[in-house]
Amino acid sequence: MSHVFHRHARTLPPSVVAGDGPYLIDHTGKRYLDGSGGAAVSCLGHSHPAISAAIKAQLDKIAYAHTGFFTSEPAEQLADALIEAAPGELDRVYFVSGGSEAMEACLKLARQYFLEIGEPPRRLLIARRQSYHGNTLGALAVGGNHWRRQQFEPLLVASHHISPCYSYRDRRPDEDEAAYGLRVADELEAKLQELGPENVMAFVCETVVGATAGALPPAPGYLRRIREICDRHGVLLILDEVMCGMGRTGHLYACQEDGVAPDLMAIAKGLGAGYQPIGAMLVSKRIYDAIGRGSGFFQHGHTYMGHTTACAAGLAVQRTIRQENLLDNVKTQGQRLRALCHERFGQHPHVGDIRGRGLFIGLELVADRDTKAPLDPALQIHTSIKREAMERGLMCYPMGGTIDGRLGNHILLAPPFIVEESHLTELVDKLAAAVDAALHAVAA
């Protein structure tokens, strides 16, 4: 009998015992191709010798020391590496243990910043519907996914939401992608006028939407217009790159492809590649200096922030990505994966859209390609696809509620940066078999 509180209380998942590059191995010896990096985490695959060696070497020195007393060489070096490549005026790094913690830090620092500079009325947050920013109460409050929020609504602080940038569903027939992007970005201007810009502290969005909408990239020009609106009204731009950042799209920071830089950024997942739990908030010089000139103290913290061994792992991950030129591989293999998906699913009667950047690909499932009508949510097709894929030795990340938290389904693919073409062929072959088996089962 297991006494672990598993997230699905009625089922016991297989027990993992080993990893081998892009594969995981369970207690029976069965191998699973990790086509989703878990939840877009394991960007270097499993059992990478350089990362394991760095962790072991750090443990031989010092595993952990509280940041109220010490800094550490791995933390300082990792921060330097991240800022060296960071866009805009991002200048400081605040290490935490995961993505939700990173988002909480962003929200709290945004509020403290306005107190420090004498603008206490700025307290409101604007985000987007169908966004996900973490499961702690602050991050959940700013998130816009109805299913995740619903039962905890009485505990959440108020936040405000505008439309997602969701061209496949929302673009008008007379609009091109750029015109559509500007139209939905201008909803931020309208919302600011409704709330009073002097009352708003930040706009929060995922650069490329991950789990809730399936690798949904912004339309051309969308984030530039968002940045312009924020600047015009003195509102901070917080970009959530917990899932899409750290090389997943082919750029270390996903927003570099859009030519914008935020005031605050949350990163995690690929930062430590799953070898240690680590996340971070990146902070612009303007915000950091305001704290320095004011109270001199960020009123926030966690026991394991700046964890020495976690930072050593993150530093080894960053060095490996650079030394092995893995961002180039993400771009090359990402193009191949999209081509394979279009070849196999481009005319599939129940695949309406194939989208994404780099090795971050989403397939949206539909009941009818012409009308884009979603499948009946009662079918729970995403659950069936996951089960069928696991039976075939493939990990993928299917989700429901793509459109509004209840309707719609997608499959998220985020294989490790180390994949080769043969792995992608295996991934698409197994995924196609799993999708067809699941659809056949629900039809029957």
pLDDT (tens digit per residue) in 66-86: 999 999 999 999 999 999 999
Residue 175: pLDDT above 70?
yes
pLDDT at 8: 82
Residue 201: pLDDT above 80?
yes
Q: Which two tokens stand for residue 148?
A: 């995740």
pLDDT tier at 420, thresholds 50, 70, 90: very high
**Mean pLDDT on 425-435:** 98
SS3 per-residue string spanning the chain: CCCCCCCCCCCCCCCEEEEEECEEEECCCCEEEECCHHHHCCCCCECCHHHHHHHHHHHCCCCCCCCCCCCCHHHHHHHHHHHHCCCCCEEEEEEECCHHHHHHHHHHHHHHHHHHCCCCCCCEEEEECCCCCCCCHHHHHHCCCHHHHHHHHHHCCCCEEECCCCHHHHCCCCCCHHHHHHHHHHHHHHHHHHHCHHHEEEEEEECCECCCCCCECCCCCHHHHHHHHHHHHCCEEEEECCCCCCCCCCCCCHHHHHCCCCCEEEECHHHCCCCCCCEEEEEEHHHHHHHHHCCCCCCCCCCCCCCHHHHHHHHHHHHHHHHCCHHHHHHHHHHHHHHHHHHHHCCCCCEEEEEEECCEEEEEECCCCCCCCCCCHHHCHHHHHHHHHHHCCEECEEEECCCCCCCCEEEEECCCCCCCHHHHHHHHHHHHHHHHHHHHHHHC
pLDDT tier at 444, thresholds 50, 70, 90: low
Q: Which domains are present in the chain?
A: 16-47+325-443 (3.90.1150.10), 53-323 (3.40.640.10)
Residue 235: pLDDT above 80?
yes
pLDDT at 381: 97
pLDDT at 442: 86
pLDDT at 11: 83
pLDDT (tens digit per residue) in 318-361: 999 999 999 999 999 999 999 999 999 999 999 999 999 999 99
Portion of the chain with pLDDT greater than 70, in percent: 100
pLDDT at 147: 83
CB–CB of 5/387 below 8 Å?
no
CB–CB of 94/280 below 8 Å?
yes
Q: What is the mean pLDDT of the chain?
A: 97
**Mean pLDDT on 181-202:** 98
d(CA 214, CA 362): 5
Residue 39: pLDDT above 70?
yes
The letter for the amino acid at 278 is: I
Residue 403: pLDDT above 90?
yes
